[in-house]
Structure 1
Amino acid sequence: MSVRHAASGDVPELVRLRQILADRMAQDGSYPIDGHWHEAYAASLDERLESPDTAVYVVDAPEGGLAACGIGLIFDCFPGPTVPGGRYGYIQGMTTDPAHRRRGHSRAIMVMLMDWYRRADIRRVDLHATSDAESLYRELGFVVDDYPSLTWRNSS
């Protein structure tokens, strides 16, 4: 297995994998899913693939397409006690196609993402986990933050 950077030609497969994740997340929580996100997601991915603040790693499936993917983002905020440099990371879209699970793809992608964050001197990385992947993230050093995480969604 080899992890590589995603290319523009991978965008349709990245959208497919994101749909798999959205369906799985809906099982764990009450995430409302808007049916019109695919085109905007594809356009945003294609635009950000070359950004120095975005890393998209993939593992190819032997039969073609993608077996797994993961996205790392770096955001700017005001420096403070928990983010002294004013930059933090967020991992989004970690997904493995069900036909390719339990083969180490997500772990390999996470190792690449965490190396990317370390090279960028990012000292805080957040993510949201499904119950399927929580143990992997804990093995890699992620912990439940004692500070409450709240979300606001516009219901209109």
Structure 2
Amino acid sequence: MSVRTATADDIPELVRLREILADRMAQDGSYPIESDWRQAYADSLKERLGSDDTAVYVVDAPEGGLAACGMGLIFERFPGPSLANGRCGYIQGMTTDPGHRRRGHSRAIMARLMEWYRDMEVRRVDLHATSDGEPLYREFGFVDDGRLYPALTWLDPS
């Protein structure tokens, strides 16, 4: 198995894998899924692939298409006492096609993402986990950090 950087040719498969993840997240009680997200997602991928603040890694399926993917984003916040360079990361879209699970694809992608974050001098990375993915993320050192203030979210009710 080889992890590689995604290209524009992978966008249709990245959208397909994101749809699998959305369905899985709904099982854990996720937010409602909007009907017109696919094109916006594809457009955003096309714009961000290859940028300095985005890493998208994939594993090819032997029969064609993608077996798995994972994405890392870097955000610039104001520097502060606990984040002197202001750089923080977010992992999104970690998905393995159901026919390719339990083969180490997500683990290999996570290792590559964490290497990228270290190379980019990002010292804080957040993510939201499904119940399926949580054990893997904990293996990489992700924790419920009781030192942090509560994570609160606002969603436009309209």
The answer, yes or no, to whether TM exceeds 0.5 is: yes
Alignment partner of 1:11: what SS? helix
| Structure 1 residue 30 displacement after superposition | 3.5
Structure 1: runs of 5+ lacking an equivalent: none
The residue that corresponds to 1:149 in the other structure is 151
CA distance in 2, matches of 1:148, 1:82: 16
Greater shift in the superposed pair: 108-117 or 22-31: 22-31
1:38 counterpart letter in structure 2: R
Q: Deviations over 1:99-118 (max 9, x none)?
A: 00000000000000000000
After the TM superposition, which residues 1-156 of structure 1 pair with which residues of structure 2 at under 5 Å, given as runs?
1-146=1-146, 147-156=149-158
| Structure 1 residue 125 displacement after superposition | 0.2
Number of residue-to-residue matches in the alignment: 156
CA distance in 1, matches of 2:113, 2:68: 13
| Structure 1 residue 39 displacement after superposition | 0.2
CA distance in 1, matches of 2:150, 2:42: 32
CA distance in 2, matches of 1:97, 1:36: 22
| Structure 1 residue 32 displacement after superposition | 1.2
Structure 2: runs of 5+ lacking an equivalent: none
CA distance in 1, matches of 2:129, 2:30: 14
CA distance in 1, matches of 2:157, 2:83: 31
Q: Deviations over 1:40-92 (max 9, x none)?
A: 00000011001011000000000100000000000011111332111100000
CA distance in 1, matches of 2:43, 2:54: 14
List structure 1 segments (4+ residues) > 4 angstroms apart after TM superposition: none
User: What is the percent sequence identity of the aligned residues?
Assistant: 74
Alignment partner of 1:80: what SS? coil
Aligned-residue RMSD, C-alpha: 0.7
Alignment partner of 1:51: what SS? coil
Alignment partner of 1:10: what SS? helix
